[in-house]
């Protein structure tokens, strides 16, 4: 069964960048797209974007255009999400999901001066 | 961008009762690309329904989804203790926006 394992918690200062990784076990990495979803403390879910591991096509949430980049490394079955120019309201748990059925454990990113 | 509005915000029910959750879109959701998720505290979301009405693998048949266009419904026929959680709808036909969630709490 496919599992997604994300990188550990991060603490960043405003204006910095963060790169979260999401490693897939199993051989379905290129079959489905990887989506990234975040959840601020006590808030709802926010879709950030999607990347095809097959051809690298991306679709980003309009709100994050210009600040987010999603990439994949098929040789290691790993997806990455980089968010730049961090602000305090980027503090959230960041999830990767494969085909919406398999989810990573979440990565807490805290942005604080 | 399609905006999804869920109602009610909170639903207070007893185990065994029927829950009806609504999700309304600001414009038509293409090809019924509408999903429902359940989320419990400290856990990742769990996919329940996709394509507006298809149950995901392993989801009990007390969960059902219906609707098309701009109006969608998630029904839980008889609430079990483990069903008390927050439920989100998501459209994935045009980007992937989520509704704000409905909390189903024990009355």
Write down the pLDDT at residue B1.
Answer: 86
What is the Cα–Cα distance from A71 to A91, expressed in whole angstroms?
Answer: 21
pLDDT per position as a tens digit, B47-104: 999 999 999 999 999 999 999 999 999 999 999 999 999 999 999 987 899 999 999 9
Indicate which of A22, A35, A38, A45 best probes the interface with B, i.e. most B CBs within 10 Å of its own CB: A45
Q: Which of B39, B41, B44 to mutate to test the interface with A (most CBs of A within 10 A)?
A: B44
Q: In 3-state terms, what secondary structure has residue B32? A: helix
Gap from B87 CA to chain A (nearest CA, Å):
10
CA dihedral B11, B13, B15, B17 (to 10 degrees): -100
A97: chain B residues, CB-CB within 8 Å:
44
At A17-33, the pLDDT tens digits run 999 999 998 767 777 78
The answer to whether residue A6 neighbours chain B at the CB level (below 8 Å) is no
Q: How confident is the model at residue A36 (pLDDT cuts 50, 70, 90)?
A: very high
Task: Choose the closest CB to A59 out of B45, B46, B95.
Answer: B95
CB-CB neighbors (< 8 A) of B101 in chain A: 44-45
B88 CB neighbours in chain A (<8 A) are 44-45
> If pLDDT is split at 50, 70 and 90, which confidence band does B32 have?
confident
Is A5 within 8 Å of A26 (Cβ atoms)?
no
Asked if B96's CB is within 8 angstroms of A101's CB, the reply is no
Per-residue model confidence (pLDDT) at position B69? 94
Indicate the Cα dihedral angle A9, A84, A52, B44, nearest 10°: 30
Q: Is B81 helix (H, G, I), strand (E, B) or coil?
A: helix
CA angle B87, A46, B101 (to 5 degrees): 20
DSSP string across B38-76? EE-TTS--EEEEETTTEEPTT--TTEEEEEETTEEEEEE
Q: Is B22 exposed, middle or buried (0-12, 13-18, 19+ CB in 10 A)?
A: middle
The per-residue pLDDT for range A58-78, each reduced to its tens digit, is 999 999 999 999 999 988 999
pLDDT at residue B29 in the model: 93
């Amino acid at each position: 069964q496919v599992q997604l394992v994300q990188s550990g918690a991060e603490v960043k200062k405003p204006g910095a960048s963060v790169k979260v990784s999401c490693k897939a076990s199993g051989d379905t990495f290129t079959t489905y797209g990887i989506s990234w979803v975040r959840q601020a403390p006590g808030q709802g879910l926010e879709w950030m974007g999607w990347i095809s591991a097959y051809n690298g096509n991306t679709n980003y949430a309009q709100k994050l255009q210009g600040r987010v980049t999603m990439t994949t490394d098929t040789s290691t079955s790993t997806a990455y999400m980089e968010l730049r120019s961090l602000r305090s309201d980027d503090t959230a748990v960041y999830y990767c999901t494969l085909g919406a059925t398999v989810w990573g454990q979440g990565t807490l990113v805290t942005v604080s001066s | 961008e399609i905006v999804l509005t869920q109602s009610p915000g909170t639903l207070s029910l007893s185990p065994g009762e029927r829950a009806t959750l609504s999700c309304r879109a600001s414009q038509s959701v293409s090809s019924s690309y509408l999903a429902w998720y359940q989320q419990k505290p400290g856990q990742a979301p769990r996919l329940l329904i996709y394509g507006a009405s298809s149950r995901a693998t392993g989801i009990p048949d007390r969960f059902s989804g219906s609707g098309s266009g701009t109006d969608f419904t998630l029904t839980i026929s008889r609430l079990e203790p483990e069903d008390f959680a927050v439920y989100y709808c998501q459209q994935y036909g045009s980007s992937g926006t989520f509704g704000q969630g409905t909390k189903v709490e024990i009355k």
